[in-house]
Amino acid sequence: MFSVDQNDEGVVRLSGRLDAASAREAERVLDEAAGECVIDMTELEYISSAGLGVLLRTHKRLLSDGGIRLVGVSPHIRDIFKYSGFDKLFPIEAA
């Protein structure tokens, strides 16, 4: 089960499993993000390379405005960012 929404402050909240089957749904919302984009991952349980691809494309699109910033990242997902080198691409705050 995956869900994505954007609150009144513009924070995008991801929850559940961001995999190859749900990546398009995440991209649909993140394509609408503008400026520096904060993504709350507190409720995100799982991410695969398909989800990483969505984050990377969003970050590159918004790079001139500050890119994306991730908050509430779990230790497991932080490991994925470390192995992929994504921890060097954008700010990541632990859960």
> Using CB under 8 A, which of 5, 10, 42, 76 touches another protein?
76
> Using CB under 8 A, which of 48, 69, 71, 95 touches another protein?
48
38 within 8 A of 12, measured Cβ to Cβ: yes
- Binding region for another protein (CB under 8 A) out of 5-13, 33-41, 42-50: 42-50
Q: From residue 56, give the alpha-carbon distance in Å to each of 1, 8, 30.
A: 22, 24, 11
Residue 49 in contact with another protein, rule: CB under 8 A: yes
- Binding region for another protein (CB under 8 A) out of 7-15, 33-41, 83-91: 83-91
Give the span between the Cα atoms of 49 and 21, in whole angstroms. Answer: 11
68 within 8 A of 46, measured Cβ to Cβ: no
80 within 8 A of 52, measured Cβ to Cβ: yes
Give the residues lining the site for another protein (CB under 8 A): 17, 19-21, 46, 48-50, 52-53, 56-57, 59-60, 63, 67, 76, 80, 83-85, 88-90
